[in-house]
Amino acid sequence: MWTVLKYDKKYLTVLKNEFYKKLGKDCRFYQPKIKYNKYFNNKLIQKEIFLLGNYIFLFHDDLKNNKLLHSLKFTRGLKYFLEGHSYSQDELKTFISECNKSEDKNGYINKSFASLIFNKYYKFKSGPFVDRIFKLINLNKEFIDIMLGNIKTKIKYNRYIIEPA
């Protein structure tokens, strides 16, 4: 059974080790991540961000048991378990399988994972327009037409990482 938990970023390795001690080696963690390039002080730096922030998926067969979940609630580094995971197993499995399908050989999610919506605002996470907000006008296979302030332009979709603003 899959569950979603929120953790303290400083204690991720401690949290995983504690779960391995309590549940055994048959528990699995999944945390989708994206890799992108960012300019910092005129140097190109590769950065890695987690798609879900400080949320992580945990799989173990015994997570159906509420007593076990209650005993795991006080694990070091764990903030809380998301409620309703037992009712959302199909959605969790679908999301995780979609993430796995769009991963490259290094385990990073491809840029084509997220679907874009027209006339919505997005924010650049990489490239020369980092942290700039733009409006998506049109989407082709390779290019997207955007409105950046009063300027309408066309950029290559696969070159930049964008997120909803």
pLDDT in the model for residue 56:
94
Q: Are both 88 and 127 inside the same structural domain?
A: no
Residue type present at position 52: L
- Domain extent, residue 144, equals 114-164
Nearest to 127 by CA among 32, 34, 45, 33: 45
What is residue 103's predicted lDDT score, i.e. its pLDDT? Answer: 86
Same domain for 68 and 120? no
The span from the CA of 37 to the CA of 82, in Å, is 32
Domains held by the chain: number: 2
Mark whether 19 and 76 lie in a shared domain: yes
On whether both 128 and 60 belong to a single domain, the answer is no
Residue 19 to residue 9: CA distance in whole angstroms? 16
Looking at residue 15, its pLDDT comes to: 92
* Angstrom distance (rounded) from CA 47 to CA 21: 31
Q: Which pair of structure tokens corresponds to residue 165?
A: 């603003």
| 45 lies in the same domain as 72 | yes
Q: How far apart are CA 88 and CA 80, in angstroms?
A: 17
Tell the burial category of 132 from Cβ atoms under 10 Å away from its Cβ (0-12, 13-18, 19+).
Answer: middle
Q: Are 101 and 122 part of one and the same domain?
A: no
**Whether residue 155 is found in the same domain as residue 131:** yes
Cβ proximity of 121 and 162 under 8 Å: no
Q: 147-157 burial by CB neighbour count: b if 16+ within 10 A, else e?
A: eeeeeeeebeb
pLDDT in 10s for each residue of the chain, 165 residues? 899 999 999 999 999 999 999 888 889 999 998 887 777 787 778 888 888 889 999 999 888 888 888 888 889 999 998 888 888 889 999 989 888 888 888 888 876 666 667 788 888 887 778 888 998 888 777 788 898 888 898 888 777 778 777
- Whether residue 29 sits in one domain with residue 91: yes
Q: Which tokens sit at 128?
A: 């020369």
Q: Mapping DSSP to helix (H, G, I), strand (E, B) and coil, where does residue 63 land?
A: helix
pLDDT for 129: 81
Element (H, E) at 79: strand 78-81
